[in-house]
Chains A and B, each alone.
Chain A
Amino acid sequence: MTKNMIMGGLAVFVLAVLSPFWFNMVTTTQAAPEPELLGNAKKATKCVLDKYDMRANHMSLLDEWRDAVVRDADRIYVAANGKSFNMSLSTGENSCLGCHEDKAKFCDSCHNYTSVNPYCWECHTNPKEIE
């Protein structure tokens, strides 16, 4: 190995390690989204769980709900704050999307930002899209 080859390889390595830094300089970086609360969600002010708990845990909650509804026909969820919710992603006023009306602004904004690709929508439809 000649010195030039080693130095060349080292330069490539340093550039690769620093890639997160320069990549964001040469491309336009999308800012973090603020999920918008619209319509009913804005009026309700209380969701199933607390804000940060919901942000972190909503996928497990939906997973548990799916099992509860499909296996035990248990459709009502009583939250810690005393309110009861219909365990449904997209059907009716009292479901997730019934309250959080705009899927694109509520669900998708964060999912796209963090490159999360949930397979909810392979079975469920966004009620807004049917109309």
Chain B
Amino acid sequence: MTQKYLIPLAAVFLLFLVAYTGAGAGLGWFFGIVFPYLAIIAFLVGFVIKVMGWAASAVPFRIPTTCGQQKSLDWIQQNRIDNPDTTLGVFVRMLLEIFTFRSLFRNTKAAFNRNASNRITYSWEIFLWVAALAFHYAFLVVLLRHFRFFTSPVPGVVQFLEALDGIVQVGLPGLFLSGVVLPAAVLFLLARRLFDAKLRYISQASDYFPLFLILGIAATGISMRYFTKVDVTGIKEMTMGLVTLSPTIPDGIGGLFYGHLFLVSILFAYFPASKLMHLGGVFLSPTRNMANNTRAKRHVNPWNYDVPIHTYQDYEDHFRDKMIEAGLPVDKKE
């Protein structure tokens, strides 16, 4: 099973080296201009196609998963969020799902008891939720902080976020908290897959690749900021050139930056084809985004075939004489 993580790991190293050496060999225009544009196009087109495909598929059944008391009689208290029957309840439920990963919070793990009874027991497993929350928010902060490379002058919101993220004022350049939390959380999520035998068994290369890729992006970014250093003004000249559609390649930008940019471009291009599409998918989970109102409202399956039906009334009209003759009970005598 080692190839499941060794191949993605080798792939990330190789991709980095391709850009690092490529930029050194004078292919900066490809890794700095052509490929980022292609990656953004691939990301947007792929994302839209994927979501359109999901939007076009039928959702024939009302299948919300419920985690609380359904709306019932007046004197039974309903859980309006975990078992919503209104659009507002569904909205609040989705909001909490998207921003706090509530379904992951309920994560349990199954294991056999160590004692003689050897019974299977389920226990609450919170660390996946903690690491996932830490990872996603750190990534969001890192993403938003990068807007300093795509806006000029930099908006106050981004500067405020930078100040907040760098509030510990350790070292020079100042340490960003997200730069610690992000790699720590990714490493935990990776360690889970590597060291938990059950998880390792179900983990595929497509599970490891995004982890290694994000780890590579974080490592190159952190290296550029804290250790090997790059000419930030030159890099911003380049990124501003990209977003104002007048790309330039300034001198003195190291290969490390091209490696970073190439890995980010790979992440964008790979995104729509990968499990990372849960970014769009979370909004479309039929088990979360539907109101549980099946007892109050009739939902007709749109797949129902339009067959001519023969009701009992019609049946009786048809066979009334014969039924009366045979002594069978009928609703209408004549």
Contact = CB atoms under 8 A, between A and B. Distances in A.
Interface of A: 1, 3, 6-7, 9-10, 13-14, 17-18, 20-21, 23-24, 27, 29-33, 51-52, 55-57, 59-60, 62-63, 110, 112-119
B334 interface: no
Interface in B236-255: 236-237, 240, 243-245, 251-252
B236 A20 contact: no
Contact of A32 (B54, B173, B237): B237
26 contacts: A1-B283, A6-B283, A9-B283, A13-B47, A20-B147, A21-B243, A24-B151, A24-B240, A29-B152, A29-B240, A29-B244, A32-B236, A32-B237, A52-B251, A55-B231, A55-B252, A56-B229, A56-B231, A57-B229, A62-B172, A114-B149, A114-B154, A114-B236, A117-B163, A118-B172, A119-B174
Contacts of B43: 17
Contact of B158 (A30, A55, A56, A115): A115
B187 to A, nearest CB: 26
A63 B151 contact: no
Contacts of A29: 152, 240, 244
B159 interface: yes
**Chain A interface helix/strand/loop/mixed:** helix
B24 interface: no
Contacts of A117: 159, 162-163
A13 B280 contact: yes
B151 A20 contact: yes
Given A10-B280, A56-B232, A56-B252, 10 more contacts: A6-B51, A6-B283, A13-B280, A20-B147, A52-B251, A56-B231, A63-B171, A114-B154, A114-B233, A114-B236
B35 interface: no
A85 to B, nearest CB: 19
A33 B154 contact: no
B289 A1 contact: yes
Contacts of A18: 44
A116 B148 CA distance: 9
B148 A1 contact: no
B153 A30 contact: yes
B128 interface: no
A60 B152 contact: no
A113 B233 CA distance: 8
Contact of A60 (B51, B162, B172, B283): B172
B48 A14 contact: yes
B232 A114 contact: yes
A32 B252 CA distance: 15
B189 interface: no
A63 B43 CA distance: 41
